[in-house]
Amino acid sequence: MMFHVQSDVSLKPFNTFGVEVKARWFVEAHNDSDVRDALAWASEKNIEVLVVGGGSNLLLTGDIDALVLRMASRGIRITHEDCGGAIVEAEAGEPWHPFVQDMLARGLSGLENLSLIPGTVGAAPMQNIGAYGVEIKDVFHSLVALDRQTGELREFALQDCAFGYRDSVFKHQVGRWLILRVRFKLSFAATLHLDYGPVRQRLQEQGIEQPTPIHVSRAICAIRSEKLPDPAVLGNAGSFFKNPVVPAELAGRIKQEHPGLVAYPQAGGQVKLAAGWLIEQAGWKGFREGDAGVHALQSLVLVNYGAATGLELLKLAQRIQADILERFGVSLEMEPNLY
More confident residue, 22 or 166: 22
Q: Is residue 1 part of a domain?
A: no
Residue finishing a domain among 23, 50, 71: 71
129 shares its domain with 242: no
Catalytic positions, written as ranges: 166, 239, 335
Q: What confidence score (pLDDT) does residue 2 get? A: 62
Whether 67 contacts 47, CB under 8 Å: yes
Q: What is the pLDDT of residues 64-92, one digit of tens each?
A: 999 999 999 999 999 999 989 999 999 99
* 1 confidence band (pLDDT: 50, 70, 90): very low
Residue 235 has pLDDT above 50, yes or no: yes
Residue 328 has pLDDT above 60, yes or no: yes
CATH number, residue 157: 3.30.465.10
214 shares its domain with 253: no
Candidates 231, 227, 230, 244; CA nearest to 296 is: 227
Whether 241 contacts 332, CB under 8 Å: yes
Distance CA 322, CA 339 (A): 21
Q: What confidence score (pLDDT) does residue 227 get? A: 86
Q: What confidence score (pLDDT) does residue 215 get? A: 97
Averaged over 316-336, what is the pLDDT? 97
Q: Show the DSSP H helices in 117-247 as ranges.
A: 169-172, 199-205, 213-227
Averaged over 84-112, what is the pLDDT? 98
Distance CA 148, CA 305 (A): 37
Averaged over 88-105, what is the pLDDT? 98
| Cβ neighbours around 268 below 10 Å, total | 7
Distance CA 162, CA 79 (A): 24
Whether 34 contacts 28, CB under 8 Å: yes
Query: Which residues, at least 6 apart from 43, have a Cβ–Cβ distance to it below 8 Å?
Result: none
Domain count, the chain: 3
* 175 confidence band (pLDDT: 50, 70, 90): confident
Averaged over 254-269, what is the pLDDT? 94
171 shares its domain with 290: no
Averaged over 183-195, what is the pLDDT? 95
* 246 confidence band (pLDDT: 50, 70, 90): very high
Averaged over 172-190, what is the pLDDT? 95
Residue finishing a domain among 177, 211, 227: 227
Query: Which of 12-26, 185-199, 318-332 is predicted least confidently?
Result: 185-199
| Cβ neighbours around 193 below 10 Å, total | 16
Candidates 194, 184, 213, 26; CA nearest to 109 is: 213
**Percent of the chain topping pLDDT 90:** 94
CATH number, residue 20: 3.30.43.10
273 shares its domain with 141: no
182 shares its domain with 263: no
Q: What is the pLDDT of residues 114-150, one digit of tens each?
A: 999 999 999 999 999 999 999 999 999 999 999 999 9
Residue 210 has pLDDT above 90, yes or no: yes
246 shares its domain with 273: yes
What average pLDDT does the chain have? Answer: 96
